């Protein structure tokens, strides 16, 4: 039985995505494999007005859902840096949740600390430790780039560990 999990690292300028497939060979947890399906980013330009940027996210997310056909979507919860940054990320996140609702896709959310804990065993791990864990878990020669895509794969892996 195969399950596709799409991880998303929300952002307005850069929204990272990473998709994995999990295949359960038998009812034993030890007999489950995970493979990377795809990863990348959706970018919007700061030179474009906000409404158009959100429309780009909306359209590109619909295209992404159509191409990847996820069974489950995992989203990184908002982490508060600066209030102005949090508001624009929240707007992008709202578009993301709308797309998932329109497609009736189930989703789960994880805090950055939960993701770090799931991948490294330590909730305060640094970014490089999480990225190395992503490469190790997916048997990759290199850490996926850009960082937003690697972060999205980490979110997808966290969902796999939790499911």
- Report the catalytic residues: 9, 76, 148
For residue 137, what is the enclosing H or E element?
A: helix 127-137
Rounded distance, CA 57 to CA 43, Å? 8
Long-range contacts of 131-138 (CB under 8 A, 24+ apart): 133/157, 137/34, 138/20, 138/34, 138/35, 138/36
User: How many C-alpha atoms does 26 have within 13 Å on its Cβ side?
Assistant: 3
């Amino acid at each position: 039985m195969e399950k596709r999990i799409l991880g998303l690292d929300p952002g307005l300028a850069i929204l990272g995505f990473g998709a994995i497939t999990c295949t359960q060979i038998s009812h034993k947890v030890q007999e489950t494999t995970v493979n990377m399906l795809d990863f990348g980013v959706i970018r919007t330009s700061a030179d474009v007005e906000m409404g158009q940027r959100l429309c780009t996210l909306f359209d590109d997310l619909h295209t992404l859902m159509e191409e990847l056909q996820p069974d489950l979507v995992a989203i990184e919860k908002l982490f508060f840096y600066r209030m102005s940054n949090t508001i624009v990320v929240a707007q992008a996140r709202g578009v993301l949740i709308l797309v998932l609702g329109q497609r009736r896709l189930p989703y789960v959310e994880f805090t950055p600390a939960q993701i770090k804990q799931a991948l490294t065993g330590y909730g305060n791990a640094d970014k490089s430790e999480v990225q190395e864990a992503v490469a190790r878990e997916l048997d990759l020669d290199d850490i996926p780039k850009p960082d937003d895509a690697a972060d999205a794969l980490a979110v997808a892996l966290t969902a796999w560990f939790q499911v």
